[in-house]
């Protein structure tokens, strides 16, 4: 009786103050959260139950600030064949991963390309025999035996983020039936090749973009050396564009 009454006890969301309806509670380590507030968390976040009210509030503040980054996001490249796409803003060095058609409304996490720590394509496969029913109603093998092959393609991106460190999403599957064949090769099937190429493209582009973004960060953080400006003759420390701080002329030759 005590447990049942506790289950029916009214609960209030610790963030919006609204009463939480039956089965609508999203439990925290030290509090409660309604479904509406929980929907504002990052879709890549998976540690809500072990998070405190203070930690969740910190993330909600981060997610609110993220809206401005989404508004400023300018897509220059789109990668992916499935509903989930990787969108890249090459000018700002940012990217997002989203399956939403109206991605600005969905508020996907805007991340720096330099925050990518790894990107991999994971392919899992399965093989099962295809049976037929004979004249006696029994399940028997085809002669030669036939098999159903299935391959699932998943992109896994590891990132440096305070609220999650992994983004994992499927980019589709490839499946077909084939007679037992010692020369079996999945690369003979266009569906397999297309999915694999799409996954490889995402991994390659993110890896290359990460390397370029990190190299740019290193260049920007490197201590500047004083040089003689070829235009005005002053001893100057070039700005970020390699220009003289006095006359504005290029000192890179």
Q: Hunting for tokens 């409660």 — which residue is that?
A: 32
- Per residue, the 3-state secondary structure of 70-100, as one string, reads HHHCCCCEEECCCCCEEEEECCCCEEEEECC
β-pair type (227-228, 235-236): antiparallel
SS3 155: strand
pLDDT digits (tens, 9 = 90+) for 154-187: 999 999 999 999 999 999 999 988 887 667 889 8
The DSSP 8-state label assigned to residue 163 in this structure reads S
Q: What is the pLDDT along the chain (253 residues), one digit of tens a residue?
A: 445 455 567 889 999 999 988 888 999 999 999 999 999 999 999 999 999 999 999 999 999 999 999 999 999 999 998 889 999 999 999 999 999 999 999 999 999 998 999 999 999 999 999 999 999 999 999 988 899 999 999 999 999 999 999 999 999 999 988 887 667 889 889 999 999 999 999 999 999 887 787 777 666 776 677 888 888 888 888 877 788 888 888 887 5
Torsion region of 115: left, alpha or beta (phi above 0 gives left; psi -120 to 50 gives alpha) = alpha
pLDDT digits (tens, 9 = 90+) for 82-97: 889 999 999 999 999 9
- 141 half-sphere exposure, CB direction, 13 A CA radius: 9
Tell me the sheet residues that pair with 148.
Answer: 128, 177
Is residue 146 within 8 Å of residue 129, measured between CB atoms?
yes
pLDDT digits (tens, 9 = 90+) for 16-28: 999 988 888 999 9
SS3 111: strand
Q: CA gyration radius for the chain?
A: 27
Cα distances (Å, whole numbers) of residue 246 to 3, 114, 221: 76, 32, 21
Cα distances (Å, whole numbers) of residue 75 to 30, 79, 88, 208: 40, 11, 6, 17
**pTM of the model as a whole:** 0.78
């Amino acid at each position: 009786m005590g447990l049942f009454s506790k289950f029916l006890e009214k609960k209030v969301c610790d963030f919006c103050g609204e009463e939480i309806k039956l089965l609508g509670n999203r439990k925290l380590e030290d509090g409660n959260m309604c479904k509406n507030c929980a929907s504002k968390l990052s879709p890549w976040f998976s540690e809500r139950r072990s998070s405190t009210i203070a930690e969740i509030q910190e993330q909600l503040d981060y997610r609110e600030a993220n809206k401005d980054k989404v508004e400023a996001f300018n897509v220059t490249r789109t990668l992916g064949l499935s509903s989930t796409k990787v969108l890249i803003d090459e000018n700002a060095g940012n990217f997002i991963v989203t399956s939403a058609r109206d991605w600005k409304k969905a508020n996907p996490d805007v991340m720096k390309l330099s925050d990518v720590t790894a990107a991999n394509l994971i392919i899992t496969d399965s093989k099962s025999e295809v049976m037929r029913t004979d004249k006696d109603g029994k399940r028997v093998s085809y002669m030669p035996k036939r098999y159903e092959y299935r391959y699932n393609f998943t992109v896994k991106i590891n990132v440096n983020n305070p609220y999650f460190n992994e983004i994992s999403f499927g980019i589709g599957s490839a499946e077909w039936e084939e007679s037992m064949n010692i020369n079996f090769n999945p690369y003979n099937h266009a569906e397999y090749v297309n999915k694999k190429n799409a996954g490889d493209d995402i991994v390659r582009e993110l890896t290359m973009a990460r390397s370029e973004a990190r190299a740019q960060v290193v260049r920007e953080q490197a201590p500047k050396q004083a040089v003689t400006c070829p235009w005005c003759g002053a001893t100057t420390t070039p700005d970020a564009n390699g220009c003289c701080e006095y006359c504005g002329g290029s000192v890179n030759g």
